[in-house]
Amino acid sequence: MKKNIIVVLLCIFAVIASAQTKNADVPQQQEQSVKISADQLLGAYYGIKDALVNGSGIQASAKATSFHEALKTVDQSAFNEKERAAFMALKPKLADEAQKIAVSKAVEEQRSVFASLSGNMWELLKSFGHFDQPVYKQYCPMKKVYWVSGETNIKNPYYGKQMLTCGKTTETIQ
């Protein structure tokens, strides 16, 4: 009888311990899902930025289409309230701006829309908090606009090769 009670108690403790371990993994899994969504958007955004640095309207258009698609596939299930609210508020703006860049082949027009896309992208990234790699907010003093970068080196998407290194980093998310 004592053996049966001990076995039952051990089983109960094992079930409780297992449940606690699984519950402890949930926040980490959610955080990882948020990072994956943010990384996908960032990668697509960086594609637009790099195309504009290179002065390629055709490439910027294609990358903006990729960004628009990535935006549609973001899994919000792991977002907390703050992240979800920011995403839902900014998603239509980001989609509209990406669409405008995608339909245009004129680099100057794309760069103009990119300024707004960058501001909204930064706002969204700040709501996500932190990343595995630093994300930099960089500033072009000639145009008085910002962009987001994954590197400390300045590669100005607003002037490209004309003024490639003109600008400075103003903020960092780590």
Please state, for a pLDDT cut of 90, what percent of the chain lies above it.
Answer: 67
Q: Is 136 exposed, middle or buried (0-12, 13-18, 19+ CB in 10 A)?
A: buried
Domains of the chain with bracketed CATH = 32-173 (1.20.120)
Write the pLDDT tens digit of every residue in 35-91.
Answer: 667 788 999 999 999 999 999 999 999 999 999 999 999 988 888 999 999 999 999
CA distance 151 to 133: 9
| Cα end-to-end distance, the chain, whole Å | 58
pTM of structure? 0.80
CA distances from 128 to 60, 75, 143 (A): 25, 13, 27
CA distance 166 to 174: 23
CA distance 12 to 9: 5
User: Residue 131 — pLDDT band, cuts 50, 70, 90?
Assistant: confident
CA distance 174 to 172: 6
